[in-house]
Structure 1
């Protein structure tokens, strides 16, 4: 067990890691395959770890650790640009104490042990299931066939009938997604347990996103204005602080073909949605839903600009204080989740 904790893990040779990782496979669901070692490096953290494959989905081994999570004060403090941007934005809403405002948006500081685990690299939609055209027609929806034909003849890239079906153009093909209106959290948990998986806890999610960092963002206390962000594009070349009241003018941004920065694999090899309109499902200590990584777009829709608008997707310890007021049926429309296998019972 000790060898699977971060301090011990980083001290192992590549051969020792390979032996441990290959030996884990027998404890995983049938069909899980070990693919080899890969090294991931980002935000000043680096990890050589094992990559696995299961039903065409990538998983990575993440070592365990004792870490401090939550946020209530700065480690290094903001730079002048971030500080001025943040103060200008929140003062429009009557906020005078920036530090108190930020602290109220974050999870509390606590010391926790995160068990070693195998984690799905990307998350998946909770409320939407991809189906074939034949499966969709079998649903006998009154609008589907007609809307599908209209979509095929149109120039649209995406069309959605709220909480019924979604059409996405992929070259010459059309992906069809059906809303999973009958899904419950209890059923999801039960289904994944039967398959040999669990769902992330809030503590695990914060560890995966920040690696135990004590800064506001995974990369530090200041915002990175060189990023390319969904809904804004690339911020490169924009002079000064973004006008927090303006709707983003994409003509001002250089669309350079880069991927969105927040979607890139981090130091554990884990990828996140990087979109404040989305949530990722995690569970609190009582097993209740605790959405992370977004706020349903509440702040960005208010014209707050990239810093505050993306705070739910960039601040490691952000909690959406309004999530408890939303119904499950509303949440799963823009909720994602990923599977995990905890390895705290393995003897190595």
Structure 2
């Protein structure tokens, strides 16, 4: 059987899928093992797919497809709540044509052929490496020992010395130490992962994995979902009324008592998790092999007080492109950059 497309894969029964997944093993990097089939369902899309692991990290099989990517017009159109919210927000910045504003923020519409691949489910931080206390002390950073001691004695959840080290409280007693990955270049990452049998996502692949080829603004439709729980905002239900009663237009002022996971961080219909935070980026590469950050804008919109709809366009809209990313230094991008590994698959034969 030739390389699998999504419609072919979906038509197979469980036994046929199992057999094909087991045949993939000889193509995969050392230490990667097939664990079985799992079903993922979200945003109206459903996929039963193969799960693989390597050193405790999960990968899923994503079938290929011929898809249209990019955005320049509505598929169904916004509902009244989204339309009103969007117009009121962008009009404060002098935007009169909402559709043109959105289109200018998105990648162009194009037809793309996506090959089948294994995709890492979770993300790896590019700019930060977790180290032990002993490894951190060896770095001989003059600020680290006192900062660590003060952090242990405090009740704060997280502390960072810009592009040097980050301390994160884990439970009541454990402290995670992250060290800035100074000096690493994109070429280093590409070369190192290629030597291990992995590639990095292209922008086309990222948009396909995030939206599944949907033609709507968000993976779930053209209207914003105000029932979500979002990082930096918390649960959105009722938040407008609470904020309107205050003297500030800051959603973060609303006290949150909801402990649900953040919706945009949950696995999607392929079983892949995304960062779900506009302050962060996921690394993808454009057609020239240059950096094309996806899934965020470094917090530019959200920091401007735009609220959850516009503030989360970079993290929620499938085809969003940060038009200002090319102006950022690599070191600045590294600070908030994450990446995932992929294994592009050759044809699968009977």
Same fold, judged at TM 0.5 (above)? yes
Residues 56-111 of structure 1: CA deviation (Å, up to 9, x unaligned) = 11100000000000000000000001000000000011100000000000000000
2:12 matched to which residue of 1? 12
C-alpha contact (below 8 Å) 1:3/1:9 kept by paired residues: no
Which residue number corresponds to residue 320 of structure 1?
Answer: 322
* CA distance in structure 2 between the aligned counterparts of 1:233 and 1:105, rounded to whole angstroms: 25
Give yes or no for contact 2:4–2:348 (8 Å, CA) kept in 1: no
Residue 343 (structure 2) pairs with residue 341 (structure 1)? yes
Q: Partner of 1:182 in structure 2?
A: 183
1:220 is aligned to 2:218: no
Q: Any residues of structure 2 matched to 1:194-273 within 5 Å, and which? A: 194-238=195-239, 246-251=249-254, 253=256, 255-273=257-275
Pairwise CA distance, 1:256:
2.2
Deviations 1:124-151 (A, max 9, x none): 1100000111111111111111111111
Match of 1:25 in 2: 25
Unaligned runs of 5+ in 2: none
After superposing the two structures, state which structure 1 stretch, 292-301 or 150-159, moved more: 150-159
CA distance in 2, matches of 1:239, 1:165: 36
Matched, 1:147 2:147: yes
Deviation at 1:345, TM superposition (A): 4.5
- Whole-Å Cα distance in 2 between the matches of residues 76 and 338 of structure 1? 32
Query: In the TM superposition, what whole-angstrom CA distance separates every residue of 1:156-204 from its partner, at most 9, and x where no partner exists?
Result: 1111110001111112111111101110000000000001000000000
Secondary structure class of the residue paired with 1:100: helix
Contact 1:242 1:305 in 2 (8 A): no
Which residue pairs with 2:288 in the alignment? 286
* Structure 2: distance between partners of 1:56 and 1:304: 39
**Cα drift, residue 257 of structure 1:** 1.6
Partners of 1:252 and 1:206 in 2: CA distance: 34
More moved, 288-297 vs 337-346? 337-346
Cα distance in 2, alignment partners of residues 327 and 17 from structure 1: 44
Tell me what 1:91 maps to.
91
SS at match of 1:193: helix
Deviation of the 1:232 alpha carbon = 0.4
Q: Displacement, 1:4?
A: 1.8
**Conserved in 2, the CA contact under 8 Å of 1:281 and 1:336?**
yes
Distance 2:236 2:211 in 1: 23
How far apart are 1:268 and its partner, in Å?
Answer: 0.3
Q: Give, in whole Å, the separation in 1 of the partners of 2:4 and 2:243.
A: 44
Q: Which secondary structure does the structure 2 equivalent of 1:295 belong to?
A: coil
Alignment partners' CA distance in 1, 2:218 and 2:319:
9
Deviation (angstroms), 1:55: 1.1
Q: Provide structure 1 residue ranges, at least 5 long, that are not aligned to the other structure.
A: none
Please, which moves more after superposition, 279-288 or 134-143? 134-143
How far off its partner does 1:252 sit? Answer: 5.3
CA RMSD of aligned residues (A): 1.6
Alignment partner, residue 111 of structure 2: 111
1:132 aligns with 2:135: no
Secondary structure, aligned partner of 2:300: coil
The TM-score, its normalising length taken from structure 1, stands at: 0.97
For 1:251 and 1:200, the matched residues in 2 are separated by 37
Query: Match for residue 302 of structure 2?
Result: 300
- Once residues 152 and 249 of structure 1 are traced to their aligned partners in structure 2, the CA distance between those partners, rounded to angstroms, is 26
Q: Say which is worse superposed, 1-10 or 286-295, in terms of deviation.
A: 1-10
